[in-house]
Amino acid sequence: MAREASAEEGRAKTLLEIRGLRATAGGKEILKGIDLTVRAGEVHAIMGPNGSGKSTLAHVLAGREAFQVTGGQVIYEGRDLLAMPPEERAREGIFLAFQYPVEIPGVSNMYLLKAALNAVRKHRGLPELDAIDFLALVKEKMKLVEMDDALLNRSVNEGFSGGEKKRNEIFQMAVLGPRLAILDETDSGLDIDALKTVAKGVNSLRGPERAMIVITHYQRLLNYIVPGTVHVLHNGRIVRTGGKELALELEAKGYAGVEESVRGSRQAAPPR
Amino acid sequence: MTSARTIRELTDKDYKYGFVTDIESDTIPPGLNEEIVRLISAKKGEPEFMLKWRLKAYRHWLTMKEPTWANVHYPAIDYQKISYYAAPRSKADGPRSLEEVDPELLKTYEKLGIPLQEQKALAGVAVDAVFDSVSVATTFKEKLRELGIIFCAFSEAVREHPDLVEKYLGSVVPYNDNFFATLNSAVFSDGSFAYIPKGVRCPMELSTYFRINAADTGQFERTLIVADEGAYVSYLEGCTAPKRDNNQLHAAVVELVALGNARIKYSTVQNWYPGDRQGRGGIYNFVTKRGKCLGADSKISWTQVETGSAITWKYPSCILQGDNSVGEFYSVALTNNFQQADTGTKMIHIGKNTRSTIISKGISAGHGQNTYRGMVKIMKGATGARNYSQCDSLLMSDTCGAHTFPYVEVKNSSSRLEHEASTSKIGEDQLFYCRQRGLSTEDAVNLIVNGFCKEVFRELPMEFAVEAQKLLGVSLEGSVG
């Protein structure tokens, strides 16, 4: 099944290559050797029970300093990702949609986004957008996630509902136009209507040049954002990789069931 | 951790305005006695009432003790080692126009980015610049005079408008008010005076740039602003000081008087030299600022951005005497390295239906100590008085401190008071969020801090708000830990 998925994705350019990635937080090892290759145009889902290391992986890729990388390497577009500070990763096209978007009182949503977009554009040698062009871009992208105009001038995420926060993340992603988007439990806290809207926004951003890593606890999201590949993360390692039907198997058997089969298959497998 | 380091590096940048202008100063020898007070008065050619007032203050000062209640610490000041008067010697009589101003002075202002020549054209700001203790240049005076507005150096007002000065001087901050104000009353050298006549709306922001230059010279300014019935004035005060090793005492007094239906808006950006990273040097800023809403329906608004000085001791206050009068205090105080600030306000409600608003934002970084001290006092006759106070503190390191001392005294049961307070540490999560969107740590810190201060900044006149935001950025360079 795994082979089938990667064959289908063919010869597209490799965007991200993770090899033997290990990371700790507060002295505790959370990632225990992750291997993952993501090519342009692909959508990978990473599923796993609570505490398996899903969010840690997302944050390590984005460069959060609270986690220490203790081993392995990450190559992004041919460069050593782990050597870059978070802002450089962002400017190089890595976007993390946060599970818990942060509130910044007194800073308008628009202001942050304009500063961010212009930082990214400057890095890429593009001229800064003026207020008029920026507003036009913003209006266009807001439609993708059906976001309320009023949220633009409110302080970043302050007083936003759970759904509004998640929409705002996808809206920011639409404006910044990343090459690799990491969606960290974007479905958590969303009702079914909001989930559909957010998924629609995400799907509209799929394209041959862009890759996505969708992190989720539940299969539900994957009904709307259909991945090419599904990975199961358990105890800091990817223990299964398969096509989108793996998510359904998880749904039916639960993580415990899949872990059983992993353990079983490991024992049976011949040594490499 | 990287962001902590970046913030520290940022905060460690040198004080941009640390330079000394080489000008001969007409400085009287250090020390303080009755003769010195008489000498200051004589040098300024003051009328008799002024000398009497100074002497009364001086004699009272001798009986007073330096206050120790503030949450600040500094070595004892030897008041006999301070020189109480310095004037640029080249033009002892005071120049009549910019052409008469010492070119060295003009160069100093240019280094500060406030060339007077350009300012004349810029945004219609009239500048009464205090360099050391004597006002050296006053612009737009003629235009203001047409409207009957008086805006001049304090010493000039004493000579030209003694009746107004005698009537209002000490009417808000009496000569015996407190140790530093009393000292100022005895030895003040110069400052600004503004009078806006009945029903006149001052068409431009009045502005004074203060600057301390001569070494070991205390600076004692006196500012008096009177808005007559129905008048309006917006006054800007901004300061920067050159780098010094010795601590310099700055004990200014500002008095505002608003008659019936008058409005005074007083905005300050204070950037005196804060001392070096180890806490050496820096200005002691012990200031008494107070406004009196004397008439009904009058309003006084204080807005301050305090980023400088080694020690700030300052409580711009409002006496709400007229019925329906309004007092406002908007403050951003930032302490970095070893700076200490004990600042806040007093709102004294005397008249009926008087209202006051207090918004205080304290930012502490490095080893900075930031204290908000505020008092809301509702007197017996202040029926229907209302106050809203909000005090927020933002901590940028593990070694800084924020303290809040709100005092409330209510003698009228029909009043309504609200107080809100919060303390937060600049969030690693906020910084990471901004950086993940592509902002540098420096820009992220500026963004978050400016957001924190937004409620105050929006009270500042436009050009001042821009300056204040920049200043906050410079002052915070290097400060999250």
Interface-testing mutation among B435, B440, B441, with chain A (most A C-beta atoms within 10 A): B435
Question: Which amino acid is located at A118 in the chain?
Answer: N
- Does residue B376 contact residue B347 with C-beta atoms inside 8 Å? yes
Cα–Cα distance for residue pair B27/B126, rounded to 1 Å: 28
Kindly indicate the confidence band of residue A259, based on its pLDDT and cuts at 50, 70 and 90.
low
**Segment (H or E) for A234:** strand A229-234
- Report CA dihedral (B454, B232, B293, B416) to the nearest 10 degrees: -40
Instruction: Tell me which fold the domain A2-268 belongs to.
Output: Rossmann fold (3.40.50)
Cα–Cα distance for residue pair B187/B71, rounded to 1 Å: 26
- Does residue B468 contact residue B305 with C-beta atoms inside 8 Å? yes
pLDDT in tens, A144-189: 888 888 888 899 999 898 888 999 999 999 999 999 999 999 988 8
ipTM, two decimals: 0.91
| For residues A79-85, average pLDDT | 95
- Nearest by CB to residue B451, choosing from A90, A104, A113, is A104
Token pair belonging to B69:
């209640």
Residue A48 has pLDDT above 70, yes or no: yes
- Looking at residue B90, its pLDDT comes to 40
- Looking at residue A174, its pLDDT comes to 93
SS3 call for B77: coil
* Cβ neighbours of A62 in B, within 8 Å: 432, 436
Going from the C-alpha of B389 to that of each of A104, B306, B330, B381, the distances in angstroms are 22, 19, 10, 21
Which parts of chain B sit beneath pLDDT 50?
1-2, 7, 10-11, 19, 88-95, 105, 108, 115, 117-127, 132-138, 210-217, 241-245, 481
SS3 call for A20: strand
The answer, for B428 touching chain A at a CB cutoff of 8 Å, is yes
The answer, for B440 touching chain A at a CB cutoff of 8 Å, is yes
- Looking at residue B2, its pLDDT comes to 47
Question: Which amino acid is located at B135 in the chain?
Answer: S
- Which tops the pLDDT comparison, A235 or B478? A235
Domain boundaries, chain A: 2-268
Question: Which amino acid is located at B480 in the chain?
Answer: V
Question: Which amino acid is located at B264 in the chain?
Answer: I
The answer, for B448 touching chain A at a CB cutoff of 8 Å, is yes
Nearest in space to A148 (alpha carbons), one of A132, A136, A163, A129 = A163
Please judge whether A102 and B427 are an interchain contact, meaning their C-beta atoms are less than 8 angstroms apart: yes
- Nearest by CB to residue B1, choosing from A65, A105, A113, is A65
- Looking at residue A272, its pLDDT comes to 42
Cα–Cα distance for residue pair A62/A60, rounded to 1 Å: 5
**Segment (H or E) for B363:** strand B355-364
The answer, for B184 touching chain A at a CB cutoff of 8 Å, is no
- Which tops the pLDDT comparison, A3 or A210? A210
Whether the full predicted model's pTM is greater than 0.95, yes or no, is no
Neighbour-count burial for B328-366, b at 16+ CB within 10 Å, e otherwise: bbbbbbbbbbbbbbbbbbbbbbbbbbbbbbbbbbbbbbb
* CB within 8 Å of chain A, chain B residues 208-237: none
SS3 call for A51: coil
Cα–Cα distance for residue pair B401/B334, rounded to 1 Å: 11
- Does residue B297 contact residue B337 with C-beta atoms inside 8 Å? no
How many angstroms away from the CA of B392 is the closest CA of chain A? 12
Cα–Cα distance for residue pair A17/B231, rounded to 1 Å: 70
